[in-house]
Amino acid sequence: MSISDYEMVNAWQKVLTLSKLEPGQTVTILTSTSTHPQTLSSALIATQSMGAIVNRLDLPPVNGEKALSRDSLAYLGTTPLTGNKAALAILKESDLVLDLMTLLFSPEQHEILKGGTKILLAVEPPEVLVRMIPSETDRERVMAASQKLSQAKEMHVVSGAGTDIHFQLGEFPAISEYGYVDEPGRWDHWPSCFALTWPNELSANGQIVIDRGDILLPQKSYVSEPITITIKDGYAISIEGGLDADLLREYMASFKDPEAYAFSHIGWGLQPRAHWTTLSLYDREATIGMDARAFEGNFLFSFGPNNEAGGNRTTTCHIDIPLRGCTVRLDGIDMVKNGKVMDGYRNEST
């Protein structure tokens, strides 16, 4: 159902308060042709109502002729900021950037963050944003999980479907995504709520089985029959199964880049207000699938770049795959058991 303008303004005000927006600070709202008009209009009202100095920076799309999908995460090449010194200067001079365009996996984003500017991405439909307004409890839960990730030396993931894979940890930081930006130089995504890291280079070994009902992103499709992926020394070396495997294999091959098969981030979802089923209710172009990435108890892994974590691997291919029913162990201790998070948290509102 639709969300009223009042609800959207109120949602923005809650998130901006959590993000410690203060009167007199400069906010730049970054937009493109795909920006949701209600998200933009309510962001303009909310930021001004809180006393911010507000700019809007609208940039033309790029890479449309190269990507095989209209999804903003389907092709990670150049961005509208590449070579755009004037636009970059505006963003670097801002205290807060509200990214309603999707500026991810880019050197320009890192440059903006290094100067202390905060960036909050928000591109899901308004009703999804309002359903998953972040909270301090979300932050506490994600930070606790990230601390455990940062201290672990190994992750081992198994499932009844046949997944059995080991990752060595420690080369890359643990990342906390809880939906707001409360520290200088922080990036986050509303909505989210998960903990993640990247495995040590060349350390991932084993087998992953994407089972019936698991989700492929950016395809935004539920798998109808199992896909078995063999991982050796950090790379997928075989993708076997039926039609779904054929589609995934051909999609990855279309990038003509061996780094497309490299393991990227790994972690688990912690958002009780996200739902595995939501993707089936939306047109594929209406969402980027954050419910699927964040739902409580998933094991979320990806193929593609690690430059977001400080690594050197860049590739235009990025695939996120959340699995259900997995057991995720850190140094032998279950963080998630058969798809249930073992941190003792109970959400009273669900």
* Cis peptide upstream of residue 191 (ω within 30 degrees of 0): yes
CA distances from 252 to 10, 186, 229, 249 (A): 41, 31, 13, 5
Tokens of 111: 């440059």
Architecture field, domain 5-130: 3-Layer(aba) Sandwich (3.40)
The single-letter code of the amino acid at 238 is: S
Phi, psi of 330 (to 5 degrees): -110, 120
Per-residue b/e over 267-283, b at no fewer than 16 CB within 10 Å?
bbbbbbbbbbebbeeee
Per-residue pLDDT of the chain (350 residues; tens, 9 = 90+): 899 999 999 999 999 999 999 999 999 999 999 999 999 999 999 999 999 999 999 999 887 777 777 777 777 777 889 999 999 999 999 999 999 999 877 889 989 999 999 999 999 999 999 999 999 999 999 999 999 999 999 999 999 999 999 999 999 999 999 999 999 999 999 999 999 999 999 999 999 999 999 999 999 999 999 999 999 999 999 999 999 999 999 999 999 999 999 999 999 999 999 999 999 999 988 999 999 999 999 999 999 988 877 888 889 999 999 999 999 999 999 999 999 999 998 764 44
Residues whose CB is less than 8 angstroms from the CB of residue 323 and which lie 6 or more positions away in sequence, other chains included: 159, 163, 208, 210, 211, 214, 298, 299, 300, 301
